Amino acid sequence: MCTKSSRIAGRLVATPLLAFGLAAASGCGGQNETGDDSGGADLLARRSRQVAAAWNGSTAAAAWRAGYHPMGEVVQLPRGGLHSKADEQAYQERNFVLRSKLPDAAPKAERVTWPGKGNESLTRPLMEVRESYESLAGGRADRKPHLTVTRAKLGEMSLATSRGTATVPAWLFTLDGYASPLKLAAATPSKDPHPPIERTSEIPGYPIDQLVRVAADGRSVTVVALHGVCEGEPAVSVLETRGSAVLSASVVSRKNTGNCTAQAKMQQVTVALEHPLGDRVLLDAHTGRPVIHKGSVSEGR
């Protein structure tokens, strides 16, 4: 049987994504029994305050703000988007054909710059062009429909980061039939700092899975939240402080008289903020760690 979950207030819009198997974070046994809703909400609120207090003014927070951490899409499609449903299918299925030689040599590192911030910059290692291409082209080249890459070169792109919009080195892949290239950020994100507070399993709900987007005005964030297949919709609450915004995810319980399989669903949840996120650290109450963008893989994470 499913364990009982607790509900906390949260402004959200949820969109179903998919279901997958889980172990410790499954809908059956991945949560602690909390008794009633108010008790679970109190636990989450207390934990959020602890996480915020640990991060605010810490060396970890300073290191996070000094690094390069993408908060937006690291892949940008050609200007105007893909031309057809067939091309969209090829992109989703990662069916690419390479009709050009990839560059033999490229810089080992390049600068990420933040215009308008005193020309701040940070030198970051670059992902090799072959590795970048293979991250896009994981499907079968002989399968149709497919996208054909006719050229690859090093360029740059604009990307939302934890320090604001940056100009980032990027691999530019020219696609057959397109006037502008597909861009993939080439700079390796900075290593996440060691969090000043340990993760906990003593609160209801599940960790936030990933960041999807930050609104252009910074007044909302969209994340992927989890909930068991026997449970109701996920809810995400936020505690805002001067230096951070701490997200705590829970689920709305629903009675289930049958056996619950070890599966969880992923749903996108949009959470409104009272103040723009800016350079505040977006944190997860369960893990005590920053919530990273879905396309960002930090060094050593």
* CATH classification code of 75-185: 2.40.128
**pLDDT value of residue 158:** 95
| 78 vs 58: CA distance, rounded Å | 40
Domain borders along the chain are: 14-66+193-284, 75-185
**pLDDT value of residue 86:** 95
pLDDT tens across the length of the chain (301 residues): 333 222 223 333 334 444 444 443 433 434 443 334 556 788 999 999 999 999 999 999 999 999 999 998 999 999 999 999 999 999 999 999 999 999 988 889 999 999 876 779 999 999 999 999 999 998 666 778 999 999 999 999 999 999 889 999 999 999 999 999 999 999 999 999 999 999 998 888 888 989 999 998 999 999 998 766 666 677 899 999 999 999 998 876 655 545 666 566 788 899 999 999 988 999 999 999 999 887 654 444 4
- In sequence order, what DSSP letters do the residues of the chain get, joined into one string? -PPP---------EEEEEEEE-STTSTTTSS---SSHHHHHHHHHHHHHHHHHHHTT-HHHHHHHHS--B-S-SEEPSTT--SSHHHHHHHHTT-EEE-SPPPS---SEEEEEETTSSSEEEEEEBPPHHHHHHHH--S-TTSSS-EEEEEEEEEEEEEEEBTEEEEEEEEEEEETT-SS-EEEE-BPPPPPPPPSS---SSSSS----EEEEE-TTSSEEEEEEEEETTS--EEEEEEE-SSEEEEEEEE------SPPPSEEEEEEEEEE-SS--TTPEEEETTT-SBPPBTT---TT-
What's phi and psi for 70, nearest 5 deg? -60, 140
Query: What's the full length of the chain, in residues?
Result: 301
- In which residue are the tokens 């899409």 written? 73
Can the peptide bond before residue 145 be classed as cis, meaning omega within 30 degrees of 0? yes
| 54 vs 64: CA distance, rounded Å | 14
The rounded radius of gyration (Å) of the Cα atoms in the chain is: 21
Give the pairing of strands 14-21 and 263-272.
antiparallel
| 29 vs 260: CA distance, rounded Å | 10
- In which residue are the tokens 């399993």 written? 201
Alpha carbon 139 to its chain centroid, in Å, reads 23
- In which residue are the tokens 């690419």 written? 96
- The whole-model pTM stands at 0.79
**pLDDT value of residue 261:** 61
- Which tokens in the block code for residue 269? 């949840």
